[in-house]
Copies of this chain bind each other. A is one copy, B any other.
Amino acid sequence: MRNRSAPFLAACRREPVPHTPVWFMRQAGRALPEYRAIRGTGSILEAIADPERATEITLQPVRRYGVDAAILFSDIVVPVWATGFGVEIVAGRGPVVEDPIRTPADLGRLRPLDPEGDTGFVLETIRRVAGELAGDVALIGFAGAPFTVASYLVEGGPSRDFARVKTLMHSDPATWHGLVDRLAQMAIDSLVAQVAAGVDAVQLFDSWAGSLSPADYERFALPATTRVLDAVRSLGVPTILFGVGTGELLGLMSSAGPDVMGIDWRVPLDVARDRVGPGRAVQGNLDPAACLAPFEVVAEETRAVLARAGSAPGHVFNLGHGVLPETDPGILGAVVDLVHAEGRAGVAR
């Protein structure tokens, strides 16, 4: 376990910090030449299942950027994949499911997760990373929120309009709730084991929740997400809930009880703080595509995010979504330095 006072963990708890902490979603990945050098040519799931490679990939961005947190190199479909549900991650496309879930009978193909037996490699990676990190750098574990994992299992792959998943929830709510209940239990079992193995905080990725209307989110996604966060709360580590395009959902998502709400780049952080309400930290929210500009532009945008975050405690700097593969790592390193030097949220003076 890290120092409880590590800047990232303190910011999650809205406590004073020595500097505004920063990490980047997808910081471990294709933007880094040292990642491309050891990633290998097979499926990304093979690299995830190899604790030696996964440990190195998890640590690379900490060395390169000087971020305040490492995030486990893994994927939100790993638990379903590891229990034998047929899913592959196709480069440039995302998770693809050969035989999607469409009927009540399909639920039988999802079996419960045995974290050590099915995903022992994940836990081994966590133990190795935790043993290597300095005490003021936190390790973040994660899981997919039930709606977002379900969207892949029902659509069969990434989707633009989420037509099949919405059709299932609207036309057969019992099967839908059976599906997200199973995925919630799988996320809980995975996160409990991740915390026991040594992660200091967990992020729940509900990446595609923003495709839902508020009414649909409240009825079909929020209950299972709340169940996951309720189960994780007793473990004593901070929780982060994130999705893109969730501006209209922030109040509902906040009601699920995370310590930190992840905010995409569309919602200015001061507006987000109002919608999220008191008692939550916020994480975000530089536009990943803005990081492709010359550094003077990136610096201006970074300062704009810091200004919106204000000086009240409880800001973790991040991008509003994952690092784009074509990002210059030098730019991200300079963003870390700038945030550490100029961030003011909760900085003790």
Chain A residues within CB distance 8 Å of chain B: 161-163, 166-167, 170-171, 210, 212-216, 245, 247-248, 265-268, 271, 287-290, 292-294, 297, 304, 321, 324, 326
Task: Give the contacting residue for A163; candidates B166, B214, B271, B292; CB below 8 A.
Answer: B292
B-side contacts of A294, CB under 8 Å: 170-171
Beta-carbon contact of A326 and B171 below 8 Å: no
* Cβ contacts under 8 Å, A163 to chain B: 288-289, 292, 324, 326
A7 CB, nearest partner CB in chain B, Å: 26
Neighbouring B residues of A271 by C-beta, 8 Å: 248
* Residue in chain B with minimal CB distance to A326: B163
In the bound complex, how far is the Cα of B206 from the Cα of A112, in angstroms?
Answer: 45
A293 vs chain B, min Cβ distance (A): 4
Contact present for B161 and A214 (CB under 8 Å): no
Known A210-B266, A265-B213, A324-B163; judge A170-B293 contact (CB<8 A).
Answer: yes
A170-B290, A213-B287 given. 15 additional CB < 8 A pairs?
A161-B289, A162-B289, A163-B289, A166-B287, A166-B293, A170-B297, A171-B292, A171-B297, A213-B265, A214-B266, A214-B268, A247-B247, A248-B266, A248-B267, A248-B268
Which label, helix, strand, loop or mixed, suits the secondary structure of the A interface? Answer: helix
Alpha-carbon separation in the docked complex, A268 to B215 (Å): 9
Write 26 A-B pairs (CB below 8 A) sorted by A numbering.
A161-B289, A161-B321, A162-B289, A163-B288, A163-B289, A163-B292, A163-B324, A166-B290, A167-B292, A170-B290, A170-B292, A170-B297, A171-B294, A171-B297, A213-B266, A213-B268, A214-B268, A215-B268, A215-B304, A216-B287, A216-B290, A245-B245, A245-B266, A247-B247, A247-B266, A248-B268
Bound-state Cα–Cα, A170 to B163, Å: 34
Contact of A247 among B248, B289, B297 (CB under 8 A): B248
Closest chain B CB from A308 CB (angstroms): 10
- Report the nearest B residue to A170, measured CB to CB: B293
- With both chains docked as a complex, state the minimum distance between the C-beta of A164 and any C-beta of chain B, in angstroms: 8
Collect the chain B residues with CB atoms within 8 Å of residue A326's CB: 163
Residue of B nearest to A288 (CB): B161
Closest residue of B by beta carbon distance from A169: B293
**Chain B: minimal CB distance from A220 (Å):** 12
Which residue in chain B gives the minimum CB-CB distance to A285? B213
How near does chain B come to A188, taking the closest CB pair, in angstroms?
A: 28
- In the bound complex, CA of A247 to CA of B297 (Å): 25
- Docked CA distance A245–B248 (Å): 10
Closest B residue, CB atoms, query A300: B170
Are B289's CB and A167's CB within 8 A? yes
CA of A150 to CA of B212, assembled, Å? 28
Distance A266 CA – B210 CA, assembled complex (angstroms): 8
Q: Which partner residue on chain B sits nearest A286 by CB separation?
A: B213
CB distance from A62 to the nearest CB of B (A): 25
Q: Roughly how many angstroms separate A304 CA and B245 CA in the complex, as a whole number?
A: 22
Inter-chain contacts of A324 with B (CB < 8 A): 161, 163
Nearest-neighbour CB distance to chain B for A344, whole angstroms, equals 19
How far is it, in angstroms, between the C-alpha of A304 and the C-alpha of B216 when the chains are bound? 12
